[in-house]
Amino acid sequence: MPKDKDKDKDVWIVRCPKCGRVTRGCKHVTPEDLARIKRLLSAGVEVFESEAEYREWEAGAEFGEIPRTHLYTVMQPRATLGDVVLSPSTLESIGDALVELKHKRLIFKKWGLADVVRKNKGVSMLFVGQPGTGKTLTAEAIACELSRPLMIVNYAHLENMWVGETEKNVEAVFKAAEEAGAVLFFDEADAVFHRRGHSAMPWTNRDVNVLLKHLEEFPGVVILSSNLSKVMDKALDRRIDIAVEFEMPNAQLRERIFKKLVPKKAPLADDVDFAELARKFELSGGGILNVVRQAMRMAARAKRNRRITMAHFVKAAEREAQKGILMSKDYLGPARQAQRERIGGYA
């Protein structure tokens, strides 16, 4: 049990996943369980979900700090800008960002922009557009273009129910990105940058403020990606240097995406007509990728003489279009948001 002077510090609150807060025991947690849990927690017993998690903790503990490497995933980008098919206006905005990054010394030092901007400013970009329009792919391509790794933030781990921990997590992510010289990527940034004061907001105002501050001071490249810019925090506006809209591709772009996503090695039947498919089906790039995959699955079912035919593509595209209708009703619906909601209510 805690010593007297720590009495107030260690008040353990036990919550049953079915019944909620348990004060005297419930159907699932008996009073004896409760007493034992509290005794163990007060004694400092900790539980880890896996061997890997324990080892990670052990390694960090040697240096006196909690390891925070699970907060992000670092990848070496493989896709280039040549792999992405974008409208001229989207390409132009991305070109702007790249020019500034590639000629940072010229613009900031030689031409004196540093005197005006006054901060060790990197470049922050906001990618907005419907799902599957190539935002993640473009972030990867930008990292590739700059020969830097891409660091993708894992929200599920970033947010922590303990007071002050989310803040430390955010700090750790920006620090790690700076040290690695990585392009920092906040996918689905709306999860975090919801307008402050919004009732369903999963992050506390304080956490968002910390994030905005880091965003402002980060000397590297940070990209935020979102499906819905409208509900995003106004304060974010002035911290974003370049906002890029990813539109749904038109028929011409869709045809180019089909051609890009169907591998050269794929055995196409003579009747396959990408222009026709592109005209007929209003799909995003992600949708087209699904169609290509599905058409291949259908073609692979044949016992011999396997060819991917126009009929396979059409059937796959019809299925994808149908899926699009179903999903669009729900793609930002309660189910997807619920996962992000705070468990408990400690902070």
Ligand X SMILES: Nc1ncnc2c1ncn2[C@@H]1O[C@H](COP(=O)(O)OP(=O)(O)OP(=O)(O)O)[C@@H](O)[C@H]1O
Residues that bind Mg ion (CB under 5 A): 135-136
284 vs 309, beta carbon nearer Mg ion: 284
Residue in the block written with tokens 């060819």: 307
User: Which entry of ligand X, Mg ion, none binds 222, CB below 5 to 8 A by partner kind?
Assistant: none
Closest separation between CB of residue 79 and ligand X, Å? 7
Q: Which does 122 bind (CB under 5 to 8 A by kind): Mg ion, ligand X, none?
A: none
Q: Find the DSSP H helices in 181-224.
A: 205-217
With respect to ligand X, which residue has the nearer C-beta, 135 or 340?
Answer: 135
Q: Could you tell me the smallest distance in angstroms from the CB atom of residue 95 to ligand X?
A: 15
Cβ pair 37, 12 in contact under 8 A:
yes
Cα separation, 23 vs 35, in Å, equals: 10
Which CB, 102 or 336, lies closer to Mg ion? 336
By beta carbon distance, the residue nearest ligand X is 285
CA 75 distance to own-chain centroid: 13
Contacted by 191, from ligand X, Mg ion, none: CB < 5 to 8 Å by type: none
DSSP characters for 234-250?
HHHHTT-SEEEEEPPP-
Q: Which is nearer to Mg ion, 174 or 186 (CB)?
A: 186
Tell me whether residue 135 or residue 239 sits nearer to Mg ion (CB atom): 135
From the list ligand X, Mg ion, none, which binds 257 (C-beta under 5 to 8 Å, kind-based)? Answer: ligand X
Alpha helices in the chain (DSSP H): 31-42, 51-62, 88-102, 104, 113-117, 135-145, 155-158, 165-180, 205-217, 234-237, 251-261, 274-280, 285-300, 310-328, 334-338
Report residue 225: phi and psi, to 5°. -120, 140
Nearest distance from residue 340's CB to ligand X, in Å? 15
Q: How far apart are CA 184 and CA 215, in angstroms?
A: 10
Least distance (Å) between residue 227 CB and Mg ion: 9
CB of 88 to ligand X, least distance (A): 13
Going by their DSSP bridges, the two strands 123-129 and 242-246 should be labelled as parallel
Q: Which CB atom, from 107 or from 248, has the smaller least distance to ligand X?
A: 248
Minimum distance, C-beta of residue 286 to ligand X, in the bound complex (Å): 4
Q: By CB under 6 A, name the binding residues for ligand X.
A: 84-86, 129, 131-137, 187, 227, 246, 257, 260-261, 285-286, 289
Q: Least distance in Å: CB of 342 to ligand X?
A: 23
Q: How far is the CB of 271 from ligand X (least distance, A)?
A: 24
Question: Of ligand X, Mg ion, none, which one does residue 86 interact with (CB within 5 to 8 Å by kind)?
Answer: ligand X
Nearer to ligand X, 133 or 172 (CB): 133
Residue 210 interface partner, choices Mg ion, ligand X, none, CB cut-off 5-8 Å depending on type = none
In degrees, rounded to 5, the angle at the alpha carbon of residue 198 between the alpha carbons of residues 196 and 202 is 85
CA distances from 300 to 18, 277, 345 (A): 46, 20, 51
Partner touching 56 among Mg ion, ligand X, none, CB below 5 to 8 Å by kind: none
Q: Residue 148 or residue 254: which is nearer to ligand X going by CB?
A: 254
The DSSP code for 124 is E
Q: Closest residue to Mg ion, Cβ-based?
A: 136
- Is 207:167 a contact under the CB 8 Å cutoff? yes
**Count of CA atoms in the C-beta half-sphere (13 A) of 180:** 22
The entry of ligand X, Mg ion, none that residue 184 binds, CB within 5 to 8 Å by partner kind? none
